[in-house]
Structure 1
Amino acid sequence: MRDYHISKHNSFYAVGLSYKKADAEVRGKFSLDVPAIDHILGKAKEIGIDGLLAISTCNRTELYGFAQHPYQLIKLLCDETHGTVEEFQEVAYVYKNHDAISHMFKVGTGLDSQILGDFEIISQIKQGFYRAKKHDMANPFLERLCNSVIQASKRIKNETELSSGATSVAFASVKYILDNVDDISNKNILLFGTGKIGRNTCENLVKHSNNSHITLINRTREKAEDIAGKFQLTVKDYGDLQTEIRKADILVVATGAQLPTVSKALIYPKKPLLVLDLSVPKNVSDDVKELDNVTLVHLDQLSQITDETLAKRKEYVPKAEAIIEKVKKDFLKWLETRKFAPVINALKDKLNTMKTEEIDFQTKKNEGFDQIQAEIISDRIIQKITKQFANHLKSNEVDTDDSLELIQKVFQLELHSK
């Protein structure tokens, strides 16, 4: 497969790490919050990188962008996070040009998710593009690529059952609670953190546990109150965290902090407590495991929960892949056309100038010269000639850059592209 890129000097790269090779601790070192993403985009602009998109979720951190060498992107990421280049290289992947495009399609459509068909990632791609645009780092290539991935994702949702059934990290956590806790409707459940995973977990808990003893705590009380209002739940202040943990039978932690928010000191070890940590980086200290009555379960363990829903989802993978191939093919066609459109347009202009001059000459020279017929024939010939050139440039067997250069030289074309 030939390389697809915008400029002769830069290639399109995807660099990143995911749950496949990097555990939660390593992923935590490379996770990016919004200010960090903004900083990377600003830095990339300074060093002349043309187009960059950053995404960071509990399962992956990735940069997609144009560079002379992928190390430029890797360095941007490592400079902004707690991880080193050496640590990154142990677990990382680097994709170039066509492979990088394919990777984004796979990620954005849930085929690369820790739980197959989990579509949370597409909103991260949208958010990543929005931030890139805000920093003037979203070129036409990235815009078209993101839109194509979003289109593929929508089609897969509508035309397959890849995301059917309630399977997500939030559902997996509730399933774990239901499978491992007796008499769930009478237990005290405390949810700390009301981000996206926290909200979804809360919804699933209310739906499946028939429990009215659920308490929410969030650093920003208003956010917790918004969610609590929907489900008639109790909200407590952040300052009450320790007291509420001591009352709880189940603690679900879904905060977005960069450092642990729940430590051994906050926990009263005299009664059993199940702690689920749904955060990356981990937001519950490992020393909690030292307490006899406490069971600590992290997101990575929950994500391994497979059920009939997941088995059923796998049946739809070939159909999803076929949709991706179709949308990706259209994108690559656009990309190739975009690359040589200025030359083809300039060639058409040149041939039209020749046509006009020749028809003028023949009209003056030959009395009764049929100008209308001559226009029709000439236009058809020009159409056929430009089509021949376009087909030549689309062929996989030719070096497009060399051919474009030759056409410009032979016809002495002046390009008026952006």
Structure 2
Amino acid sequence: MPLFALGINHQTAPVKLREQVAFAPDSLNTAYTDLLAQPFVKEAVIISTCNRCEIYCNFEGNDSSSLLRWLTDFHNIEPGSFDDNFYCYQDQQAISHLFRVSCGLDSLVLGEPQILGQIKQAFAVASHAKAVNKSLNKWFQYAFKVAKKVRTDTQIGANAISVAFAAVSLARQIFSDLKQSRVLLIGAGETIELVGKYLLEHEVPNITIANRTLARAVELVDKFDAKAITLGQIPDQLSKADIIISSTASQLPIIGKGMVECALKDRRHQPMLFIDIAVPRDIEPQVSELNDAYLYSVDDLQGIIEENKQARVEAAIEAEKIIEMGVNDFIAWQESLKAVESIRLYRQNSEQLRDELLQRAIASLANGNDTEKVLKELAFKLTNKLIHHPSQALTTVSQTGNEQDLTLLRLTLGLSQTDEL
């Protein structure tokens, strides 16, 4: 059954389109139930991050249009409205794509490590939803194995770079001395935690973390010597922040133009930097229309990220070689499955012959026949029956003069090239 990878990412579509197909975490169970109800889908894993939305599946048939149609229907998107922004890979190309994504070679930041954790989390969610069976389980386990080897054997992860790193780099360009800046982080997920880590390295003393629930925000407070607030407290606290970096899973904007206008008024129009690295976006795009408010989305970080790519290019070339070997190994495993049924039948037939002849021998011994004679007859008949079909095959192939088939058959039967027929 073919393996497919259907998706949209930062290379094929802007954030405005990507956010329309993003899956909120609390919608995934419904999505899996609906997706697996489709007659053409046997297994599936959905990966939805700020830079990509992809569906990996074990698919019945060769027409991926039904999968794309399901995706647009699920998100209530007009059919065909941006089909050109999607890519679809099958079998070897799909296998290679997942491996490259897992290794960070298809990321906005070349070689960034976060994507592997996101894929593992997506795989865990799919497994919990019982959307994964033998083929996808093996496929993703191979992806994790290849990614680990790339991290171990190459320098692809040297000088850690990520969207979080790019966000802090941008803040440093605008506020040369982050030690004097007050920062508001919105969200408490992995990306915000990484942002906090980089801010800590730059000795930022004043950090506030806003999250839907205080419990998770409080977990980060001790790490970054920060203050925790709820999302509902943002309007009252916004004017106190010079830099706002946001990354949540909210389906609606958290900060609007009006809220920022009020904050700027309270600040007497001291500049504010907004970095929105969420998809869907947390900050209304109209904020950029305000004087003294500088808004950057995840796509705007591309320029900063480009500067860091060159150092990883050579490592990426090495990684591609490891990925190619991983793809070949996985395809070899797939091919080996084809032999399983043949081996089962061959073993079953051999055991059936053995049991029939053994029963005859036991019966003959019970009738008082000579033991040595019975054993010799058993060995002779068993040998003849087991070599009958291979002997016929050798004769037929020899008569055709096909040396390649003859060599393969001899190797299969354990005959060396020097053995006489």
Flag structure 2 segments of 5+ consecutive residues without an equivalent.
Answer: 395-403, 406-421
Alpha-carbon distance between aligned partners in 1 of 2:213 and 2:23, rounded to the nearest angstrom: 21
Match of 1:218 in 2: 211
The Cα shift of 1:187 comes to 1.6
For 1:284 and 1:58, locate their aligned partners in 2 and report how far apart those are by CA, in whole Å.
Answer: 14
Q: Secondary structure at the match of 1:15?
A: strand
- Fraction of identical pairs, as percent: 27
1:31 matches 2:30: no
Contact 1:13 1:67 in 2 (8 A): no
Aligned to 2:86: 92
After TM superposition, list the pairs within 5 Å mapping 1:369-380 onto structure 2. 370=376
User: What SS is found at the alignment partner of 1:157?
Assistant: helix
Contact 1:288/1:294, CA 8 A, preserved across alignment: yes
The question of whether the paired residues in 2 share the 8 Å contact of 1:27 and 1:59 is answered with: yes
| CA distance in 1 between partners of 2:381 and 2:127 (Å) | 45
Structure 1: tracts of 5 or more residues without a match = 6-10, 389-396, 399-418
| Conservation of the 8 A alpha-carbon contact between 1:36 and 1:80 | no
Q: What amino acid maps onto 1:21 in structure 2?
A: T
- 1:216/1:233 contact within 8 Å kept: yes
Q: CA RMSD in A?
A: 3.0
Is the contact made by 1:29 and 1:82 (CA closer than 8 Å) also made in structure 2? no
Structure 1 counterpart of 2:273:
274
Partner of 1:298 in structure 2? 297
Instruction: Specify which of 2, 8, 19 is matched with residue 10 of structure 2.
Output: 19
Q: Structure 2 CA distance, aligned partners of 1:182 and 1:120?
A: 27
Q: 2:196 and 2:76 mapped to 1: Cα distance?
A: 31
Query: Counterpart in 2 of 1:54?
Result: 46
Matched ranges for 1:14-413 at <5 A: 14-48=5-39, 49-65=41-57, 66-68=59-61, 69-208=63-202, 210-267=203-260, 268-269=263-264, 270-306=269-305, 309-354=308-353, 367=373, 370=376
Contact 2:10–2:108 (Cα < 8 Å) also in 1: yes
1:187/1:322 CA distance change after superposition, 3 Å? same
Code of the residue aligned with 1:61 in structure 2: it is C
Cα pair 2:273 2:294 within 8 Å, conserved: yes
CA distance in 1 between counterparts of 2:259 and 2:388 reads 79
Report the alpha carbon displacement of residue 55 of structure 1 after superposing the two structures with TM: 0.8
- Given that 2:207 and 2:225 are in contact with CA atoms closer than 8 Å, whether structure 1 keeps it comes out as no
Counterpart of 1:56, as a letter, is S
Q: Give the number of the structure whose alpha-carbon radius of gyration is greater.
A: 2
TM-score (norm 1): 0.82
Determine the C-alpha separation between the residues in 1 that align with 2:102 and 2:297. Answer: 24
- Matched residue count: 379
Query: Per-residue displacement from partner, 1:37-91 (whole Å, max 9, x unpaired)?
Result: 2212111232332111111000100111113331222122112225333234120
**In the alignment, is the contact (CA less than 8 A) between 2:357 and 2:382 conserved in 1?**
no
Structure 1: distance between partners of 2:309 and 2:177? 27
Query: Counterpart amino acid of 1:136?
Result: K
Deviation at 1:134, TM superposition (A): 2.4
Residues 311 and 379 of structure 1: CA distance in aligned 2, closer, same or farther (over 3 Å): farther
SS in 1 for 2:117: helix
What is the letter of the counterpart of residue 235 of structure 1? A
* Aligned partners of 1:67 and 1:73 also within 8 Å: no
